[in-house]
Amino acid sequence: MAYRRPDRDSTRPVYVISVAATLVSAHPRTLRIYEDEGLVCPARTPTNIRLYSESDIRRITWIRHLTRERGVNLAGVRILFELEERLGTRILEALYAEGTGNGSKGRSRPRTDGPSAATRQAGPDEEPDS
């Protein structure tokens, strides 16, 4: 009988705020600000402790990329996420490709299923496959 590891579910909340902050190289207060701005919504335990999933970590990585590398403020990030959700297009993927110069070279870009679904497959800091 095959055993499926439950920790492979990217939507399963497993990281407390301090671990999540370490994974994305941010201060825990930064993650709280992202939550206050409505950019990320971590799960909560019965005792109100925030728990972040792999999908949340990928979304935060996108937020960090947009704010630090592309100069977008948090209001702009929210608008980009909303546009991507409404239009069903991959705006963030195009921005990433434009920023790394991969748009015209034919190299593959990181895949994303949209930030609203929080199912991004590769982080903006990762090298695209050749």
94 part of a folded domain: yes
53 part of a folded domain: yes
27 part of a folded domain: yes
pLDDT band, very low/low/confident/very high, at 43 (cuts 50, 70, 90):
very high
C-alpha span between 96 and 80 (Å, rounded) = 13
Provide CB contacts within 8 A for 117, sequence distance 6+. 55
- Beta bridge mates, 50: 44
- Structure confidence at residue 103 (pLDDT): 52
Its pTM stands at 0.69
- The arithmetic mean of pLDDT across residues 44-55, rounded, is 96
Which tens digits make up the pLDDT trace of 73-124? 999 999 999 988 888 777 777 777 777 676 544 333 333 444 444 334 445 5
62 part of a folded domain: yes
- Structure confidence at residue 45 (pLDDT): 96
118 part of a folded domain: no
pLDDT higher than 90, residue 63? yes
Handedness of CA 82, 87, 89, 91 (dihedral sign): negative
44 part of a folded domain: yes
Q: Is residue 34 within 8 Å of 63, Cβ to Cβ?
A: yes
117 part of a folded domain: no
Q: Higher-confidence residue: 97 or 65?
A: 65
- The arithmetic mean of pLDDT across residues 14-36, rounded, is 97
For the chain, how many residues are written? 130
The total of structural domains in the chain comes to 1
- Structure confidence at residue 129 (pLDDT): 45
Backbone angles phi, psi at 98, to 5 degrees: -65, -40
**Average per-residue pLDDT for the chain:** 79
121 part of a folded domain: no
Q: Is residue 78 within 8 Å of 38, Cβ to Cβ?
A: yes
Handedness of CA 31, 37, 40, 46 (dihedral sign): positive
What count of other Cβ atoms lies within 10 Å of the Cβ of residue 66? 24
- Structure confidence at residue 41 (pLDDT): 96
CATH of the domain at 39: 1.10.1660.10
- For residue 15, give its domain range: 9-100
